[in-house]
Structures are given as C-alpha cells and as structure tokens.
Structure 1
Amino acid sequence: MNRILITPRSLTSGPHPQIDRLRDVGFEIITSTPNALPSEAELISLLPGCVGWLAGIEPVSPQVIAAARDLRIISRNGTGIDNLPLDDLRKRNIAVATAGGANAGGVAELAVALIFSALRHVPAADAGIKQGGWPRRRGRELRGRHVAVIGCGAIGGEVVRMLSALGARVLAYDPAQPDLRIGADRFTWMDLGTALREADIITFHCPLQKTGKPILDAATIATLRPGVLIVNTARAALVDEGAILAGLNSGAIESYATDVFDEEPPKDLTLARHPRVIATSHIGGFTDESVERATSVAIDHLLAALRPMAKAHVG
C-alpha cells in the first residue's frame, strides 16, 4: 500500500532522476507500458495498492477510479483535468493537483512554430525537395495578421506575448481576461464569436466548453474568414474534425496544424494525411525544460500529500 503509479509518456519512455525523490522516502514506483497511453484495462490492473498517481493525459473512467481503492491523490504533470472523472474523485475525497504553467513555454513555442510552418508551407517544401522536386508555394508573413488567441492562461498568455512582439495584431478571448502584463495597445480583448470571425489565424489554448461541444463546427467554420489558418495545441475536441476536413477540402480553411487528435495515435489518418494539415505527435510540452519543470512540480504535490505516510511506513 505504498506504491505510486507513473503513467506520462515523457516519464515512462526512460528513467527520470526526479522520480528518485519518491523512492528516497520509501515509495515503490510502478509504471505503465513505456511510451504509450495506458488503456482502461491496464490502469485498472495497476492502480490497486497505489496511494499516489503521477498522471498524464490518458482518459480516466469512473471504473478506473473505482479500482483505485487506496488512491489519495492524482498529480498531473500538466494543466488539464478534463480527462478525469472529477465527480467520482470528489466522492472519494481523492485530491487532484496540476503542474500549473510548467509546460507553458514549450507549448507556446510549438504553437508559434506551427503558425510559421503553415504561413510558409514549410512541411510541403521539405517533403517536395526530399522527393526530388523544387516546390515553391508563395507564403504569407505574420506581421500585421489578425491572430485570435482563444484562452489566455499560462500558455495562451505566453502566445499573446510572443505574437504581439512579432508584430501580429492579437485578438484575445478569455472570459477571465487575466492581466497579461503587456500594453493594451498590443492586443485587444474580444468576445469569442468576433475574435473567430475577424481572425486570419486562430490558435486554441483553452479547456473544453462546459457543454462538451466543439468551438469550431461546420456552422462556425462558415463564419470564418476565407483561407483561415487554424492551430490546435490544446484539445482535439475543441474542433469537429469532420468539419475541419470539409473546410480544408472546400478551401474555406487554408491549413490546420494540430498537436492533438481524438485518438492518439490516430488510427484513422484521413485528416492527418491531408496535404494542408501539419500534424505533430502531442509534443507541445515535450521539451527537456518543460518535462523537468512539470515533473518537479508534480512530485512536489505528491510529496506534500503523501510524505507523512511515507515517513510512517519507513519508521
């Protein structure tokens, strides 16, 4: 009854020295299948006897929580918790902790990189040259473009700062309108519908809507500027992938750059293989720096909650 489960792919793919902090106070560490999202069946088999769980983005069902009879805390190495059955966790008094903005820099940099890649058709040029061609598609510059940043928390706020410094005209949407500590002349707060309609580029950095419905569906896409670029490093369910595909085929959407899919890795590659889709494999926070920060914070939360138990066990 002194186990901690580790499931993030960034930590199961190889040893991480931060994990030794848990072993040093007497916890037994178990891990899920290396470099893979654990299935419901695997989680149900691993969690009995675990008092702590350093969790990733894997979907967690009520059945998983029911099997976690000894669990006291789930500590995420990221910010999102919409993969967790929060009502079930509350009923069991299982604490949930997140790593705040630990991976904000990595995700924000990837979002900006995807924007540039889409504007300048970088993947298409690279693939064409490697196939013996010399493709030259005319690109567009970021300076002066209207960029809607949807969600301006730790990640989105960093994206706003980067884009405004690069000369983009940022249209920011966030119900909380946090203090971004940059001059109001460098960005404009807008309601969601207006920001989407006026944008040349849309980048998502927000949780799912309470309704669970996507922000971008066929009806919303019909209101966007022709040739819009869409970047999604947040959550696949923020968009209707079928509507995105239809928009790409019709030309309403110029490019879709995504780091997230409904199923990871996706078995249906129809969207990923589209010539105007730029696809990455959920690598937003997968940098040396982000993994280090997020792991350190996640373990801090585990130790704060479980150290008294560890000391009692050791004693």
Structure 2
Amino acid sequence: MNRILVTPRSLTRNPDPALLALEEDGYTLVFSSPGETPDEAALLSLLPGCVGWLAGVEPVSPRVLEAAHGLRVISRNGTGSDNLPLETAERLGIMVLRAAGANARGVAELAIGLAMGALRHVPEQSAALKGGVWQRRPGLEIEGRTLGLIGCGAIGRLVAKFALALDARVRVYDPYPDHGFTPSGDFAWIGLKQVLEEADIVSLHCPIPPDGTAVLDASAIGRLRSGCVVVNTARAALVDDTAMLDALQGGGVGVYATDVFAVEPPPPSALLAHPRVIATPHIGGLTDESVRRATVAAVENLRGALRQPWASAMA
C-alpha cells in the first residue's frame, strides 16, 4: 500500500524531476497512459491499492472513488476540483488538496494573448496568408477599451494587472469581491449586469455556479455589447455553446476564444469550426514554468498529507 497514481497529461508524457521526492519517500509511482486523459475504466484499473493520487483534470465519477480502496489523498496539480466528486471524497475520508495559484500566470498570459489575437484578427489572417490570400483587416487596440472580468481570484488579478499595464479599463464582477485589491489604473468592482453591458472584452475566471448553470447563457450573452470578444480559459460549462454559436452567427459576439472544452479532445462541432472561434487545446497552464510550480506544489501537498499520523495508520 505504498503506491501513488500520477495522471496529469503533462506528467505522464514527461515526468517532472519533482516526482523523485515521492520515490525517495518510499512510494512507487504508477502512471496512466502517457499524454492521455484516463477514462473511468483506466482509473478503476489503476487506482485501487494506491494511497495517494496526483490528479489532473480527468473526470472522476463517485464509482471510481468507491473502488479506490486505500486511497487517502488526492492532490491536484491545479486549482480547480470541478472534475472530482467532492461529496463522495468527504464521505470516504479522502483528503482533496489543490496547488492554489501555481498556474495562474500561465493562464492569465494566455487569456491576454487570446484577447489581443482576437482584436487583431491574428488567427484568421494567418490562415488566409498560408492559403495564399493577402488579407489585411484593420484591428483594434486595447488601450481605452473595457475588459470585463467575471471572477477575480489569482488568475483574474493577474489578467487585471496585465490589462491595466496596457492602458485598458478593467471592470470586475466577483460574488465575493476583495475590495482590498485596488490596482493602479482605471479599475472598478461592479455588478455582473454592468460587466456584460459595458465590456468590449469579457474574460471568465470563475468556478461553475453551484447549480451547474452557465454564467454566459442566452440571456447573459444577449446583454453583451455588439462585437464583444469573449475569452474562456476557465471551464467549458461556463458558456452555453448553443447560445454562443447563435450569437456568433448573428454578429452579437465578435470572437469567442476558448481553451476549455466539455470533452477533451473535443469532437467536431459547428461552434469549433466557426471562423470567429479561436480554440486552443487546454494549454493555459501548459508552460514549463506553470507545470513546474504546479507539480512541486502538488508533490509537497501529497508528501505533507501522507506524513500525517492518520494517513499512515489508514495506509
């Protein structure tokens, strides 16, 4: 009962040296298929008998945890835990730990990059030129434009600072605003309705609401300014795909840039194929620096938890 399962795609493809600390502690590392997101069958095969789990973004069903005899700790190499059945974990006495803020800079930089790429039509003009078409579309500068943030945790704060450094106006909605965060520049906390109606760019940095509904549903999307750029580096379920496609086709949304999908890799769809959709394959936290920080944090969280007397006694 000294095995630890490792499933993040970045670590199964290229194991980080930080994992050696777990082996030095006497644990045997078990890896899922390199570079792939393990499905339920794979987890049911690999997880039983493991005392710890360094987990990625793979969906986890209650059934998986029910079958994970001996599992005491799940350590995420990121901030989110929407993929985990937290109530089941709590009932089974399985501790869930997160690498809070470790990938914040990588995700924040991608969000700004997607916004800038959308304003300057970079993807479509690059594709046209590669296809032999000399297409020059006038773009927009970010200076003086309003960036609306929905959610202002570690990632949202960095996005706000980056945008302010580019002389954008930043307007933020968060259900639990930290009014102590007041960066220099044209920054203000406002309501969600105001963010939707005032922003030239809306960037999502929040968890899925407790009721599971999309933050940008048809009603919310209908409030956006015509031609608004929407950036989603957070969670696919925050956006109603059908409503977003309708808004793109009707011209209500100028560009939808997303790094997250309900199923990864995503199947072909009308939304994914739309010419004003910029799609990246969940690379927000996939920088050398972010992966390193997240791995070190996840490993140290795991080691610390497994050193606890209760964990040793239960192993």
Q: TM-score, normalised by structure 1?
A: 0.96
Q: Which residue of 1 aligns with 2:141?
A: 141
Cα deviation digits, residues 79-105 of structure 1 (max 9, x gap)? 001111111111111111100101000
Q: Which residue of 2 aligns with 1:107?
A: 107
Q: Which residue of 2 aligns with 1:200?
A: 200
1:181: Cα distance to partner? 5.0
Distance 1:55 1:181 in 2: 34
What SS is found at the alignment partner of 2:307?
helix
1:217: Cα distance to partner? 1.2
Distance 1:300 1:110 in 2: 26
Distance 1:186 1:28 in 2: 52
**Contact residue 25 and residue 307 of structure 1 kept, 8 A:** no
**What letter matches 2:260 in structure 1?**
V
Q: Which residue of 2 aligns with 1:214?
A: 214
Distance 1:72 1:208 in 2: 26
Query: Where do residues 52-131 of structure 1 align in structure 2 (5 Å cutoff)?
Result: 52-131=52-131
**Contact residue 112 and residue 159 of structure 2 kept, 8 A:** yes
What SS is found at the alignment partner of 2:188?
strand
1:25: Cα distance to partner? 1.1
Distance 1:76 1:43 in 2: 15
**Aligned alpha-carbon RMSD (Å):** 1.5
Q: Which residue of 2 aligns with 1:226?
A: 226
Change (3 A) 1:133 1:261: same
Q: Which residue of 2 aligns with 1:307?
A: 307
Q: Which residue of 1 aligns with 2:242?
A: 242
Distance 1:223 1:312 in 2: 54
**Contact residue 4 and residue 30 of structure 2 kept, 8 A:** yes
Q: Which residue of 2 aligns with 1:163?
A: 163
Query: Where do residues 35-54 of structure 1 align in structure 2 (5 Å cutoff)?
Result: 35-54=35-54
Q: Which residue of 2 aligns with 1:268?
A: 268
What SS is found at the alignment partner of 2:273?
coil
1:175: Cα distance to partner? 1.9
1:186: Cα distance to partner? 2.7
**What letter matches 2:50 in structure 1?**
C
Change (3 A) 1:247 1:312: closer
What SS is found at the alignment partner of 2:271?
coil
**Contact residue 197 and residue 225 of structure 2 kept, 8 A:** yes
What SS is found at the alignment partner of 1:222?
helix
Distance 1:99 1:191 in 2: 29
**Contact residue 164 and residue 186 of structure 1 kept, 8 A:** yes
Distance 1:296 1:180 in 2: 27
1:241: Cα distance to partner? 0.7
What SS is found at the alignment partner of 1:243?
helix
1:308: Cα distance to partner? 5.9
Distance 1:147 1:268 in 2: 30
Distance 2:312 2:171 in 1: 53
**What letter matches 1:33 in structure 2?**
S
Q: Which residue of 1 aligns with 2:293?
A: 293
What SS is found at the alignment partner of 2:270?
coil
Distance 2:204 2:243 in 1: 16
Residue 7 (1) aligns with residue 7 (2)? yes
**What letter matches 1:120 in structure 2?**
R
**What letter matches 1:44 in structure 2?**
L
Change (3 A) 1:146 1:89: same
What SS is found at the alignment partner of 1:29?
strand
5+ unaligned residues in a row in structure 2: which ranges? none
Distance 1:312 1:269 in 2: 48
**What letter matches 1:152 in structure 2?**
C
Distance 2:190 2:59 in 1: 32
Distance 1:220 1:207 in 2: 17
Distance 1:74 1:228 in 2: 39
Cα deviation digits, residues 8-61 of structure 1 (max 9, x gap)? 111011221111111111101001111111101111111100000000111111
Query: After TM superposition, what 4+ stretches of structure 1 lie above 4 angstroms from structure 2?
Result: none
Cα deviation digits, residues 170-218 of structure 1 (max 9, x gap)? 01111222233513x5311011111111111100010001110001111
Q: Which residue of 1 aligns with 2:190?
A: 190
Q: Percent identity?
A: 54
What SS is found at the alignment partner of 1:272?
helix
**What letter matches 2:224 in structure 1?**
L
What SS is found at the alignment partner of 1:159?
helix
Distance 1:61 1:80 in 2: 16
